[in-house]
Structure 1
Amino acid sequence: MHYDVILRHGELIDGTGAARYSADLGVLGERIAAIGDLSRDTADTVIDAQGQIVAPGFIDSHTHDDAFVLSDPSVEPKICQGVTTVIAGNCGISLAPLCADREVPQPLDLLGAWQAFRFPSFAAYLDALDAEPAAVNTVPLVGHSTLRVRHMADLRREANAQEIAAMAADVRESMAAGAYGVSSGTFYPPAAAATQQELIDVFAPLRETGGVFATHLRDETAQIMDSLEEAFAIGRALDVRVVLSHHKVAGKENHGRSRQTLARIDVQRTQQPLCLDCHPYPATSTMLRADRIHQSSRVMLAWSKPHPELAGRDFHELLPMFGGSVDSTIEALSPAGAIYFVMDERDVERIFRHEMTMVGSDGLPNDTRPHPRLWGTFPRVLGEFSRTRSLFPLETAVRKMTGLTAEQFGIEGRGHLVVGNYADLVVFDPERVIDRATFAEPTLRPEGIAHVFVNGRAVLTHAQPTGSRPGRALRRSQDMMYAVKANMSASFTSPEHA
């Protein structure tokens, strides 16, 4: 038989967690057409994958790429890591539905300038992705904070009944358009005044449609246990899966508490579907905030609108320039973003070892000096966490960035090497793959990622971008909605993590 592409002699890791095995893989059109001995078959493109791993394309479970896939559709920071699908709209921040006519409040500006918010409906955003495809697929979530900005003049209070009804209508439209779920970020000012009941009422359409509820917890520091309980309660009220975004225990006084949070998660996931994502760094990045500064051992300025020349500098080195106090310096630099060294490496490792932890970069592509997670997350998990630190086998690492994520978000036809699935594929060297991006040089490309295919077309060949843009706006089908709802109880798992 003749194929479009044959990957010969590779070691296949299929995304299920099963042991690798030797086989050829044939691609025809946009699908995986054959797996096995294809030595007698031909192809337009034949790649010798001897000594290489062939895996499903990586799925970035936590991104803020909503606008990036439109403004820079080559999406090089992602394809160079082997990422073929990004999940956007996290932390309550989605690009749609919102038409802005002025500056948007932080942290919505993490997605880009206010002019990027130009979509009156969620369907219009997905149509724009169809019209101008990116190199990667996009799985969209609709954000609660974006809905508040759209419908509320005063964000400092709880939403009233009329505003809740308007936001719920947007959720209903978004889910009908193909959104995979919703997200919240009550940690941030635009949604800090929202109550648990407001979130339940705004997201009420999910009771009929299903989907996921991804949440940046209200507090990841001293009150993290209460914040977990709030997330669990919202998920139960909506009868949907809860995704605990970038799970962490932040602040020096909370280091080590991941034992407590993971134990609580394990108990609760026998009662309701839960999962979490994490990136492999002890530092996080978001808008410039006093509370985060006080909780951190070090703070680096990632960007500043009034002072772009100071990006990359240590925040505390800048204090004498702006009156000497944290508050006066924040006022002078804002709007701005920063990188916070706020976590303990042992907590990060412990969270990553959890069987329900997916890999999510949480990268911010618009930062002047971005966190290295934007360019390094996935090869760092493969090279540093799996190969060097031996936190888990390579098969487990691949599962955390492929099959597990596809299963938890309900992404059909991706995340596993199966005949008939879409040919989202990555070929990498298990002995060489590693991140090179650092906090000092955050945009260095990784090593060891050789080939990447999206929907059967090469977007990276011999570690070089091809310029091809075969990605799609993925839409959650109505059939998938009801299938997931019908099988919710079967998805509960008994905790095995210690």
Structure 2
Amino acid sequence: MKLGNAALPALAGILVGCQSLPDDAPRVPVDLLITGGTVYDGTGSPATADDLVISDGLVAYLGPDARTKYLPAREIDATGLVVAPGFIDPHTHAAGDLSSDGADRRANLPFAFQGITTVVVGNDGGGSPDVAAQAELAKAQGIGTNVAYLAGFGPIREEVLGKEDRAPDADEMSVMKARLRGAMCEGAWGFSAGLYYVPQAYSQTDEVVALARVASGLGGFYDTHMRDESTYNVTVTGALAETLEIGRRADIPVHIAHIKALGPAVWGHSAKMIEAIEDARASGQRVTADQYPWEASGTRISAALVPRSALEGGLDALRERFKEPASRAAIRAAMVDGIARRGGASKLLITGRLGEAEIDTGQTLQEYAEAAKVEPVDAAIAILMQGDARVASFNMSTADIAAFAVRDWVVTGSDGSSGHPRKYGSFPKAYRDLVLGEPGMDLARFIERSSGQTAKLIGLQDRGRLAPGMAADVVIFDPATFAPQATYQAPRELSVGVRHLFVNGEQVIAEGAYTGSLPGRPLLKRTACAQGNGDS
């Protein structure tokens, strides 16, 4: 197997790959040698028994007989273990953890113990456009995993229009374009939208296309929580049609966040969605998606149940509307429909309280309402009058989950957020569901969809594969014990089975324990930002 012969900076003048040194040549000093493992390189290729050499934060060599060429400072015997590129999570809500004052939070251990070495933040349209400031803070404080940034539609729109339900005028659109362009020039990898959420929900397709063209002109991709994943407005298939239209008109790669068919009314619609996406891909459109392996989605009561028109102006404005009898009655009726759309109050598990809401977690909305001796909708209104609450919404079909999982354009993601086990256990759960369970996915394919394929769709050229010159982001896990421990009742349990984890060549997990190191880096897109470039 030919692996290349380019000289690495750390090994100047010494050829790498599989070329042999002269018999009398001295062995090259390196940092680490990993031997004995079953090695997957992240491309989907079959496993090898190669040795892996790491030095100066890079993969220095991948091939046989490393000891004849290299003199390692230390070795790891990975016999019985899988050696793979560190996993890349394309959809997280880890920005708050990574900017925390606490080093324990910045270590990002919920992700690291899943084998994840790089997280993407700013998804669902929530990413701050101040990318440079986020990156500088990460470098100054230290973080446990790498992080890549998306520029969010929500903050950009809210800076200009607040939470108003209206379209921007020409001058306002110019400001929004400039703000997005600035974020891309500071290193964002793409433009993120969450058209389901206020105030982004107030946008029309043309507005999103205009902004997506800016990101397209600067080499970015369009990451989207679609306008509907159920029957809230345009339906999940209508939202998919809009998503594909945005991609075509803006000439931008489209990545669909946490692809799903949410609620009994759209169960089985995965077939229509898959057909539409594969038709688009066959026509040359660049379309991918990520998926988490859980039957419950995660959101807030306000987002799950309240009509978007009632959220104009934010939660304070909603509370004022609740005080007016006619308005309250109309919103209440819509919320009754929202509860039914979610499969009933017994399918909404309260996982976290927000604001001043006085509510215990770990109970369903139905249980909370029964204890309070009120109807579920009135219990939900009482919560919203005080604050809000996070909920896990059990509203997906296992058949739909399975149908999406096996598509070659779907990658592993977590949508990791507080109160839901997906933050702590999505990648090992996907491994156990897909590789050890049905459909018996090949491990090489699982690792590709969790590393190399994700790096490619984001644009990370030096991550996601094991090859000389690549960043030494490496996971070594036990295929027999790699498993989630988090549950809906105990969502903050670290996963098990990762024996060693390296981020930029520095060990974060050693023999299953955190080392205390913070070697992660902000990964910034290098964008040529000539005057006017990308603002079409």
The TM-score with structure 1 as length reference comes to 0.88
5 Å-filtered alignment, 1:70-469, equals 70-71=99-100, 72-94=105-127, 96-97=128-129, 121-222=130-231, 223-271=235-283, 272-288=285-301, 289-290=304-305, 293-297=339-343, 298-305=347-354, 306-307=356-357, 309-320=359-370, 324-333=374-383, 334-364=387-417, 367=418, 370-469=419-518
Structure 1 counterpart SS, 2:282 = coil
| 8 Å CA contact 1:179, 1:476 repeated in 2 | yes
Question: How far apart, in 2, do the equivalents of 1:45 and 1:447 lie?
Answer: 24
Range with greater deviation from structure 2 (423-432 or 326-335): 326-335
Structure 2 counterpart SS, 1:85 = strand
Task: Tell me how large the CA RMSD over aligned residues is.
Answer: 1.8
Range with greater deviation from structure 2 (40-49 or 15-24): 40-49
Quick one: structure 1 residues 156 and 415, their matched pair in 2 at CA, closer, same or farther if it must change by over 3 Å? same
Structure 2 counterpart SS, 1:412 = coil
Show structure 1 runs of 5+ residues with no match: 98-120, 486-498
Structure 1 counterpart SS, 2:117 = strand
Deviation at 1:296, TM superposition (A): 2.8
Letter in 1 for 2:250: L
| 8 Å CA contact 1:171, 1:203 repeated in 2 | no
Question: How far apart, in 2, do the equivalents of 1:153 and 1:443 lie?
Answer: 35
Which aligned segments of 4 or more residues in structure 1 are displaced greater than 4 angstroms?
none
| 8 Å CA contact 1:148, 1:167 repeated in 2 | yes
Quick one: structure 1 residues 33 and 65, their matched pair in 2 at CA, closer, same or farther if it must change by over 3 Å? same
Deviation at 1:294, TM superposition (A): 2.5
| 8 Å CA contact 1:339, 1:371 repeated in 2 | yes
Structure 1 counterpart SS, 2:199 = helix
Quick one: structure 1 residues 393 and 207, their matched pair in 2 at CA, closer, same or farther if it must change by over 3 Å? closer
Show structure 2 runs of 5+ residues with no match: 1-27, 306-336
Deviation at 1:322, TM superposition (A): 5.2
Matched positions, count: 454
Alignment correspondent of 2:93: 64
| 8 Å CA contact 2:138, 2:521 repeated in 1 | yes
Residue 38 (str. 1) matches residue 66 (str. 2): yes
Alignment correspondent of 2:79: 50
Deviation at 1:160, TM superposition (A): 2.6
| Alignment deviations for residues 97-154 of structure 1 (CA, whole Å, 9 cap, x no partner) | 3xxxxxxxxxxxxxxxxxxxxxxx3322222222222111111001101112222234
Question: How far apart, in 2, do the equivalents of 1:127 and 1:84 lie?
Answer: 19
| Alignment deviations for residues 191-217 of structure 1 (CA, whole Å, 9 cap, x no partner) | 111000111123332242121101111
Letter in 2 for 1:200: V
Structure 2 counterpart SS, 1:408 = helix
Question: How far apart, in 1, do the equivalents of 2:405 and 2:349 lie?
Answer: 24
| 8 Å CA contact 1:282, 1:343 repeated in 2 | yes
Identity, in percent, stands at 30
Structure 2 counterpart SS, 1:21 = coil
Range with greater deviation from structure 2 (291-300 or 20-29): 291-300
Letter in 2 for 1:48: D
Quick one: structure 1 residues 144 and 31, their matched pair in 2 at CA, closer, same or farther if it must change by over 3 Å? same
Deviation at 1:386, TM superposition (A): 0.8
Deviation at 1:321, TM superposition (A): 5.0
| 8 Å CA contact 2:184, 2:527 repeated in 1 | no
Question: How far apart, in 2, do the equivalents of 1:408 and 1:391 lie?
Answer: 25
Larger Rg: 2
Alignment correspondent of 2:33: 6
The TM-score with structure 2 as length reference comes to 0.82
Letter in 1 for 2:415: D
Alignment correspondent of 1:103: none
Letter in 2 for 1:344: S
Structure 1 counterpart SS, 2:33 = strand
| 8 Å CA contact 1:322, 1:332 repeated in 2 | no
Deviation at 1:442, TM superposition (A): 1.4
Range with greater deviation from structure 2 (146-155 or 26-35): 146-155
| 8 Å CA contact 2:185, 2:529 repeated in 1 | no
Of the three residues 49, 53, 71, the one matched with 1:26 is 53
Structure 2 counterpart SS, 1:192 = helix
Deviation at 1:323, TM superposition (A): 6.4
| 8 Å CA contact 1:148, 1:155 repeated in 2 | no
Question: How far apart, in 2, do the equivalents of 1:292 and 1:410 lie?
Answer: 38
Question: How far apart, in 2, do the equivalents of 1:383 and 1:44 lie?
Answer: 35
Structure 1 counterpart SS, 2:289 = strand
Quick one: structure 1 residues 91 and 470, their matched pair in 2 at CA, closer, same or farther if it must change by over 3 Å? same
